[in-house]
Structure 1
Amino acid sequence: MTGANNNKLKIFSGRANRPLAESIARHLGVPLGNLNLGNFPDGESSVRIDEDVRGRDVFIVQPTCPPVNENLMELLIILDAFKRASPARVTAVIPYYGYARQDRKDTGRVPISAKLVADLLTTAGAHRVLCLDLHAAQIQGFFNIPVDHLYAVKEVTAHVRTLGITSDDLVVLSTDEGNVKKALLYQRRLGGQIAVVDKRRASAEETKAAHLIGAPLVNKTVVIFDDMISTASSMVNAVEVARKQGAKKIYVCATHGLLCGPAVDRLREAPVEQIAVTDSIPISKDKLDKLPNLKQISVAPLMADAIRRIHGNESISDLFKDETPPVERRGEGR
């Protein structure tokens, strides 16, 4: 076997989001690798690589979405299995990075879980990490290995353009002050005006929206952007503010559709025309049936292109030449 052939790209998938991994593999024109995954009788994860990966460039697709602990542990065990199988490089492709909310010590006696997960991934055997729309961009700094941070802004804005909203009619609404930078990015691409919901958090699960800052919403079409929808408390509060402020139509967009707990019921009752999320996280048929206005946007082409560039030692930043901010990579300037 020649050296060139021995360094071929290989894509493997955990059980968290196999449909996305299959789609990425199709866009790359390579078969999904053979990985035998199961559970021992006591629930422990069982992993066996069913093909030779010595000297190969391996990419493992596994978002750490709910059930977070199971999917994270499975990813760590998969990484350990590959570390012991002598590939040339292992890249953890994590479309959704769990434990990202605790990225700093903002009160006494709490962990920085995002840093802990970064250490676990590195120790388990990841040489590189590829993420999509991290909840906090500074998480890249928790790693001592290269981190490529992708944004789904092109894919989401392309979808919004199909809705036929004119610039004069559009107001981009941010769910809170912390999300303004991302909302401005969408507003620059789509046009229109921008407004921000002044959010007050009641607890980790509940938020209360106080009032609106920015452009008036009377008789406007409002598009609300956020990086994720978890319990949908923030999103539904923003929808309610928009409705009370006189918006005629409201659309909701987010990268990660976690849809935990009461999220589906809240969104089903909310006065929104459409809810758009990417396929970074799988959504069950039951949830899709309850939310007929939910649209999934594929990020497989974006992630496949990034993987192709990493494998070929090409620039990832070129994917985001017209973006602000560009792709963020730990240790590099913008």
Structure 2
Amino acid sequence: MSKIITSNKQKQLADNLSKCLGVECIEADIRRFADDELRVQISTNMRDEDIIIVQSTAKPANDRLMELLLMVDAAKRAGAKKIIAVVPYLGYGRQDRPTYNYGPISARLVASLIEVAGVDHLITLDLHSPQVEGFFRIDVQNLNSAPIFAELFRDRKDFVVVSPDTGGLQRTQKFGIMVGAKFAIVDKSREKFNTCSMNEVIGNVSNKSCVIFDDIVDTGNTLCMAAELLLDCGALSVEACITHAVLSRDALLKLEESKISKIFVTNSIQHNALSSKFFINDITQLFANEIKRIINK
């Protein structure tokens, strides 16, 4: 038997998986003590059951991560047979190497915490850096959202897929091949923490519709700047396909006021409301297929 455990921050995806898999979904009771320590209680029998814990570690990243770890520990102590962590968006994935003096490798530490808590299998989506998989010693499945987005552009002709930086080039090339489109790259450089500059597009975008393809939109700065540069270079229009809509600070306002016409995202991170520019693509079946494979093997 299997059960799904989740917090109220990922309840929509958890409920969808519950219906798809035909298993019970229980929302953990998560409260705070006076000093803001978290208290997690899961009121169900989990002994000798396969427990599927659904929780993205999006903002506030530290709270969501701690909730995940505490839910895992609770399931382990209750005698769960197998613990499968479904973490569509894995926070700290961008910190896969030290980029400043005496800095930590935060992604490796998070991997160790998840392992020690008691996770047997981790299922995630579009890790920012593929090398993060290597930080884990447990079974990790890094699913790919590109086929979901590719279906949106199967019948589209004469457009260009754009990587907003050189780091996403390989991802963009693969997507371009899927949809039969040419690709271009924005030359982006980071001058200091959380700021970047762009001044060149490598590839022809003149008189073309452009689709920016990336894994994360956080503050929205990269996406908005890339769109402005593409339009300045003669692009007819700009859309975006982004796996994880983190949307920190005033990102929603920036994107709403930007010249990007449509933004396609997944429901890897739960949002109660997004503007009419956003089109949400469901990842339920993608994760359900992988969960079935793990449980049945």
- TM class, shorter-length: over 0.9
Are the counterparts in 1 of residues 2 and 24 from structure 2 also a CA contact under 8 Å?
Answer: no
* Number of matched pairs: 297
Are the counterparts in 2 of residues 15 and 62 from structure 1 also a CA contact under 8 Å?
Answer: no
**TM-score, L = length of structure 1:** 0.86
**TM-score, L = length of structure 2:** 0.96
Are the counterparts in 2 of residues 16 and 65 from structure 1 also a CA contact under 8 Å?
Answer: no
Partner of 1:248: 236
Are the counterparts in 2 of residues 91 and 130 from structure 1 also a CA contact under 8 Å?
Answer: yes
Partner of 2:124: 131
Shift of 1:129: 1.0
The whole-number CA distance in structure 2 between the counterparts of 1:235 and 1:189 is 22
Where do 5+ consecutive residues of structure 2 fail to align? Answer: none
Residue in structure 2 matching 1:301, options 257, 270, 285:
285
Residue in structure 2 matching 1:148, options 141, 152, 169:
141
Q: Which amino acid aligns with 2:45?
A: D
The whole-number CA distance in structure 1 between the counterparts of 2:215 and 2:186 is 15
1:163-216: per-residue Cα shift (whole Å, max 9, x none)? x521xx1111110111011101110111121100011113332211120112x1
Deviating above 3 A after TM superposition, structure 1's stretches of 4 or more consecutive aligned residues are none
1:129 aligned counterpart, secondary structure = strand
The whole-number CA distance in structure 1 between the counterparts of 2:153 and 2:49 is 39
Q: Which amino acid aligns with 1:257?
A: A
Partner of 1:321: none
Residue in structure 1 matching 2:250, options 243, 262, 285:
262
Residue 45 in structure 1 maps to residue 35 in structure 2: no
Aligned counterparts, 1:202-221, within 5 A: 202-214=191-203, 216-221=204-209
Distance change >3 Å, CA 209–CA 40, structure 1 → 2: same
Are the counterparts in 2 of residues 15 and 71 from structure 1 also a CA contact under 8 Å?
Answer: no
Residue in structure 2 matching 1:84, options 77, 91, 94:
77
Residue 282 in structure 1 maps to residue 261 in structure 2: no
Aligned counterparts, 1:71-220, within 5 A: 71-161=64-154, 164-166=155-157, 169-214=158-203, 216-220=204-208
1:217-266: per-residue Cα shift (whole Å, max 9, x none)? 11111111000000111111211111011111211110000111231222
Deviates more, 1:128-137 or 1:196-205: 196-205
The whole-number CA distance in structure 2 between the counterparts of 1:56 and 1:34 is 17
Q: Which amino acid aligns with 2:186?
A: V
Root-mean-square deviation (Å): 1.4
Where do 5+ consecutive residues of structure 1 fail to align? Answer: 1-7, 314-334
The whole-number CA distance in structure 2 between the counterparts of 1:50 and 1:106 is 43
> Identity across aligned pairs (percent)?
36
